[in-house]
Amino acid sequence: MMVVMKTIEAASETSEMKSNVQLEVFKSVEEIITDSALVSDALDEMKKYKTWSTNTFQSYGNDVQHYSSFCYNFQIEPILSNANLAVVSKWVKTQKEEGTAVATIERRLASLSSIYRFYKELGILTSNPFKLIDAPVGEKKHHSRDLELRELIEVHHCLKIMEEDGFDIEPTVRLMVTTGLRNGALTKLKVKDVKFEQQLLIYNVGIENYKHKVQVFPLPPVLLTLLKKHIHKNELQPDDTLLFGLKGEPLAAKQLNRITDKICSYLGWKDELRITPHGFRASIATLLHERDVPRDAIKFLLGHSTNRDNLDPYIRRNKKHLNRLRHELTLFEQEIEEGVKALKKEEGSTEKNEETSLYVSSSPSGIEPKKMSQQEFASLLKVNQELALSLLESNLISIQS
């Protein structure tokens, strides 16, 4: 009888333990997070209910860390209830005084506002002070302008000169220009994503949620050859990072900003002439639009979502877009190559001891324009009107009567 009672008691304890474990597993966020919880803990708990990518969560985490560090510097505990208009306003003012970009301040405010909105809707918080504070007005500068074909020719010529100086970034920049891929996507590309036989680049973000994205890009011949040489030169393996940064190492987050800054420095592009990585994305879309490429094809280039298990039928279904884009990108690439050759030829004709700027957008000093007959110019107009007019406007050619 004693043995039976002990067995029943043991079974009861085991059942109770299981019940407690189940209760703990299904414990709701309202029971875990209160208004006295650290903002960082609130973010960790919130993540369980979001379909965020690793990069998105890291971005939120960095913004929360910045806010928490600010609080500690002013002897304020970074718990949910301690955020008020005065604290958030001081946080924004401090960032402004440190010279933080307005876009960065706006992003940080948006990140914290998202967290506070989540817990306000759950009834854990009564207000969202991050939503009520604005970033500094009138200081936000937009440098993501669209580049014209002439300027893209200058960029590609600049890449050749930078390579001579030890900055071998042509594959990275060309792929950025051709695909319009964003920074995060470019850093994730692997060697195996280049399908040489199909002349395609396949970007698979690899996140199993509703934002799961696969993008397919047709690669024009010069870029394909350049990528092949890059892979062979660096002895890259299929799972290696495809693209490199300024230091000749695998491309990492935010390095595209440094690359574009370096290009702007070489070209002497300052203030409103400056360009950002996003400017290249906008440029390829604008140039394709100017070439009368259908809007659906441009949207296809800039991003579509599909199931990776259905990739082959997806490619076949969009073959029309791929063929049109491949044709236009190949023509675009040819025009870039012709423009670069023209600039190199004119550069080579300049006397070595003569001081000239790397580029002057109009009427370069010290460079004699190439003489061209009216018939030759008319032929060039037929082949590529935009290039012909750009060379004429830049005083790189002169028409003889």
7 vs 167, residue with greater confidence: 167
Whether 91 and 178 map to the same domain: the answer is no
Tell whether 162 is covered by a domain. Answer: yes
For residue 358, the model assigns a pLDDT of: 41
Question: Which CA distances in Å does 133 have to 87, 90, 93, 243?
Answer: 10, 10, 11, 39
Of 68, 102, 132, the domain-final residue: 132
Contacts of residue 192, defined as CB under 8 A and 6 or more positions apart, other chains included, come to 238, 239
Residue reference for tokens 């692997």: 190
Buried b (16+ CB within 10 A) or exposed e, 9-44: eeeeeeeeeeeeeeeeeeeeeeeebeeebbbeebbb
Whether 62 and 176 map to the same domain: the answer is no
Q: Across-strand partners of 215?
A: 203
Whether 170 and 310 map to the same domain: the answer is yes
- Report the CATH number at residue 104: 1.10.150.130
Whether 344 and 366 map to the same domain: the answer is no
53 vs 40, residue with greater confidence: 40
**Domain, as residue range, for 401:** 362-401
Whether 94 and 187 map to the same domain: the answer is no
Which structure tokens are listed for 158? Answer: 């600049």
Q: Across-strand partners of 202?
A: 216
Whether 267 and 336 map to the same domain: the answer is yes
Neighbours of 143 (CB within 10 A): 15
User: pLDDT for 156-202, tens place per residue?
Assistant: 999 999 999 999 999 999 999 998 888 888 889 999 999 999 899 98
Rounded CA-CA distance 348/267 in Å is: 18
User: pLDDT for 265-309, tens place per residue?
Assistant: 999 988 888 888 888 878 888 888 888 888 888 887 876 544 444
The total domain count for the chain is 3
For residue 360, the model assigns a pLDDT of: 38
- Report the CATH number at residue 280: 1.10.443.10
Which structure tokens are listed for 142? Answer: 């937009």
The pairing of beta strand 200-204 with beta strand 214-218: antiparallel
Name the pLDDT band for 2 (thresholds 50, 70, 90).
low
Q: Is the pTM of this model over 0.75?
A: no
Whether 178 and 291 map to the same domain: the answer is yes
By mean pLDDT, which of 235-239, 247-251, 313-317 is the weakest? 313-317
Of 348, 372, 387, the domain-final residue: 348
For residue 7, the model assigns a pLDDT of: 53
Whether 188 and 336 map to the same domain: the answer is yes
